[in-house]
Structure 1
Amino acid sequence: MKKKKFTRSLMFSIRGIVHGITSERNVKIQLIIGLLIISFSIYMETPKIEFMLIIFSIFLVLTMEIINTSIERLVDKIHPGFDKDYEIIKDLMAGAVLLTALLAIIIGVLILFEPITSLFS
């Protein structure tokens, strides 16, 4: 019984991730950028701990984007028209995604700046 419950939960989770990737432009863009950065990191043989930070940052951005999308859709369902309070909720979530993306960029630059510059020198 528990195995079936876990399998169903896993299927729902995968369905949610696939839906986020296929229906949300920002998730697609961030996923493509993330895969490029992961590929570059592998090519440059980035040390394991730094590679883990890069992977963590990418997953964090994607997770925040999916949470943001979920909250936006919930707000739109609850209140389809414009409402200042609901707009603030959406803006707060968008701000959280932006902060997470900025963190990922900072981590990426700190880790990959030197390997990138060494390619061109």
Structure 2
Amino acid sequence: MDLKDKGEVGKNSAFLDSFKYAFKGILTAFQEERNMRSHILIGSVVLILCVFLNLAINEWLWVIFSIFLVIIMEVWNTVIENVVDLATGGQCHPLAKKAKDMAAAAVLVTAGFAIIVAALIILPKLWQILY
């Protein structure tokens, strides 16, 4: 029996398995993390809005970069939370709290960056349309 059959961790035996497990990780984060669903919803709304704002290529790159960076940070936050919970057995520990709080802070700072990017790129275009 293979390690994966037992639910244990091991190296992927096939190149395509790497993609399969990566997509499973994305699906797990989406299903289990409310904040991930929120980030994806907000990012999707921003992308749809941007379709109508006639962005330049460099503006598209900044918007897409910002959205993906928030999603990546949310995945890392979830990873850190899960590893800390595994290491502490779910018990409260001051260092566990620090690690979790700092991981959440990384998401918050990244979301702040995304808001600044959106404000600099999207707000002026909306202002022109509305006024």
* TMscore range, shorter length: over 0.9
Q: How far apart, in 2, do the equivalents of 1:66 and 1:51 lie?
A: 23
Q: How far apart, in 1, do the equivalents of 2:129 and 2:86 lie?
A: 50
Q: Which runs of 5+ in 1 are unaligned?
A: none
* TM-score, normalised with respect to structure 2: 0.87
Partner in structure 1 of residue 7 of structure 2: none
Q: How far apart, in 2, do the equivalents of 1:30 and 1:42 lie?
A: 18
Partner in structure 1 of residue 72 of structure 2: 63
Q: How far apart, in 1, do the equivalents of 2:31 and 2:128 lie?
A: 36
Which protein has greater RCO, CA pairs closer than 8 Å, 6+ apart? Answer: 1
Deviation at 1:5, TM superposition (A): 2.0
Instruction: After TM superposition, list the pairs within 5 Å mapping 1:1-121 onto structure 2.
Output: 5-79=14-88, 80-121=90-131
Of structures 1 and 2, the larger Rg is shown by: 2
Q: Which runs of 5+ in 2 are unaligned?
A: 1-12
**Over aligned residues, Cα RMSD in angstroms?**
1.0
Which consecutive aligned stretches of 4+ in structure 1 deviate over 6 angstroms post-superposition? none
Identity of aligned residues (%): 32
Partner in structure 1 of residue 6 of structure 2: none
Q: How far apart, in 2, do the equivalents of 1:32 and 1:119 lie?
A: 24
Would you tell me which structure has more helix in proportion to its own residues? 1
